[in-house]
Amino acid sequence: MTGIELYDTLTGEVRPLATREPGKVALYACGPTVYDHPHLGHARSALTYDVLRRYLEWRGLDVRHVANITDIDDNIINRARDEGRTESEVAVEWEDVYIDAMARLDVLDPHDRPRATEWVAEMVDFVTRIMAAGAAYTTGTGVYLRVGSVPRYGDLVHRGLDDLRASAGARVEVDEDKEDPLDFALWKAAKPDEPSWPSPWGPGRPGWHIECVAMSLGILGDDFDIHGGGNDLVFPHHTNERAEALAVGRSFARHWVHNAMLNIEGTKMSKSLGNYRTVVEMLDEHPLNGRAFRLLVLQTHYRKTMEVNPELMASARTAVQRLDALARRAKAAGADHDQGTGRRDEAAAGAFRTAMDNDIGTPEAVAVIFDTLHRANAALDGSAEDAPTLVATVVELAGALGVAVDAAEHGAGDGDAVIVGLVSKRQAAREAKDWSAADGLRDELAAMGVVVEDTPAGPIWRRA
RNA sequence: GCGCCGGUGCCCGAGCGGACCAAGGGAACGGCCUGCAAAGCCGUAAAGCCGCGGGUUCAAAUCCCGCCCGGCGCUCCA
């Protein structure tokens, strides 16, 4: 028992996270198929599991975080064909873009980042076992899972087989060779000009969902703790992953976690609506956007659709600056020296923990952080004894959610000497009570994008 | 149509039966601080009968029923 409660999609309720091994958490989060720019939805999803992982670690649990990269599928093949390149070239390019974008969002690298193409042998082996179990059959186009043979197939989506059948084929035409419209390909027979791997059923490539089963069970083992992903993956992706594992009698995820989608300007983000936003684009717009977007994600519960628009990004940036401002003035006041020594405000840490233990209540946790920030500022105003502890608590709790607090006055470094010179020149003018000279210098700095703040301990500055 | 998740102040967004909490962030306004600012502090608002209509209860934003609206899913999408 971890004391942490998490919503489980399978049972449809918040329930205690009871891990397979005490003190350890095996987490598998579905990663992207790499053939295009990662968008804000990918970022929200990655952030959700990064925060979950960081919090579990903050609680002292030993987490093994696996996030896959799907580097072979129809989209990649189509893109490669369109661009006259190999599938591998396309996949490598977009995987690099993805990983770089995640790093800029301060998403920790997962402990394992398996690629589908590196696990084909395991997938073939898995399909072989499903065949042996009598839960699959071959047709001219590949190997199919017999969905009807899997007990409680629709449990994850909370729908019965007949109900699912009734809407099957609503969007995609049904393959007549299949025994049941719900059956899906475990292995696809090779078509001309497509990459393929040898198999007992002839050359082909992995079918649907099989890569995640092979990799999650292969790396984390049976009965691993948490399987996560966007809630659009509940069906068919996760439902079918689960079916594949169940077909060979293996116990799959103990807990299913799904994050909600994201809207832009009130409507869903989609390419056709023209409101499709990429992570790189968002990050390039403002140096604070990485942290601001994370804060925005944290301010909405992970199971609720979140809103993103320029105004909200701006307000999140302002909030991030308040965090930095606290650190800066604490540093100027010499009140930050005990950071990392373990001293913290236990009332705040306790409230934070209570919020997070309750199904990862990040909005409330963020509220605790800002309440503490408020107390820290007040303590700093009155030079109260506990100011350093409160400041350290803010930094620690924000850090537990992956929000870095930056006390540095210096930006990139370029031009710092000039800025420092102007700041001290202005201070000299102020001491001489030459206000017009001082204000002129402040305007000059402002034109350079630098804001000066006068504190009892002397002037400090930051980039706007 | 079916399943899941939602509809709370100017915007975003907590709360899930009862306590001076209807949190927290942003925006606005007044005051303090400041040479003036910035940062910070204090306070305020006709700001919301918590989507609409019923019901359960001593007590509901919180539970139940119906309706309206939004999002996602219903074969490869976070």
- Chain A, 289-328: which CBs lie within 7 Å of strand B? 296, 299-301, 303-307, 311-312, 314-316, 318-319, 322, 325-326
More confident of the two residues A459 and A464: A459
Q: Which nucleotide is closest to the Cα of A258 by its C1'?
A: B78
Same domain, A107 and A199: yes
Where residue A372 sits, what CATH number does that domain have? 1.20.120.640
Q: Which residue has the higher pLDDT, A418 or A51?
A: A51
pLDDT at A28 over 70: yes
Domain for residue A206, yes or no?
A: yes
Q: What is the mean pLDDT of residues A296-312?
A: 91
Kindly state whether residues A245 and A336 are assigned to the same domain: no
Amino acid symbol at A339: Q
The domain boundary, picked from A229, A262, A295, lies at A262
Distance A409 CA to B46 C1' (A): 44
* Domain match, A129 and A177 both: yes
Please choose, from the candidates A252, A294, A254, the residue with its C-alpha nearest in 3D space to the C-alpha of residue A18. Answer: A254
Complex confidence, ipTM: 0.90
Q: A239 with A348, same domain?
A: no
* Domain shared by A135 and A180, yes or no: yes
| Whether the predicted pLDDT of A343 surpasses 90 | no
Q: Are residues A23 and A161 in the same domain?
A: yes
Contact between A335 and A389 under an 8 Å Cβ cutoff? The reply is: no
Closest residue (CA to C1') to nucleotide B23 in the complex:
A367
Domains: count for chain A: 3
Question: Does the pLDDT of residue A48 top 90, yes or no?
Answer: yes
Quote the pLDDT of residue A408. Answer: 75
Do A138 and A208 lie in one domain? The reply is yes
Domain membership of residue A13 (yes or no) is no
In a domain, A96, yes or no: yes
Residues A249 and A381 in one domain: no
Whether residue A174 is predicted with pLDDT greater than 60 in this model: the reply is no
Distance A223 CA to B9 C1' (A): 46
Same domain, A139 and A235: yes
What is the spatial distance, in angstroms and rounded to an integer, between the CA atom of A392 and the C1' atom of B20? Answer: 30
Nearest CA among A337, A334, A332, A336 for reference residue A459:
A332
Judge if A210 and A126 occupy the same domain: yes
Does residue A113 sit in the same domain as residue A246? yes
Q: Which domain holds residue A362?
A: 319-400
Asked, for residue A348, whether it belongs to a domain, the answer is yes
pLDDT, tens digit, for every residue of A195-204? 899 999 999 9
What residue has its CA nearest to the C1' of B74?
A167
- The arrangement of strands across the sheet holding A136-139 comes to A136-139, A142-145, A184-189, A204-206
Q: Return the structure tokens found at A4.
A: 């942490």
pLDDT of the residue at A412: 45
Within residues 19-78 of protein chain A, the ones with CB less than 7 A from nucleic strand B are: 30, 32-33, 39, 41-42, 44-45, 73-75
The reply to whether A228 falls in a domain is yes
Burial of A370 (C-beta count, 10 Å sphere; 0-12/13-18/19+): middle
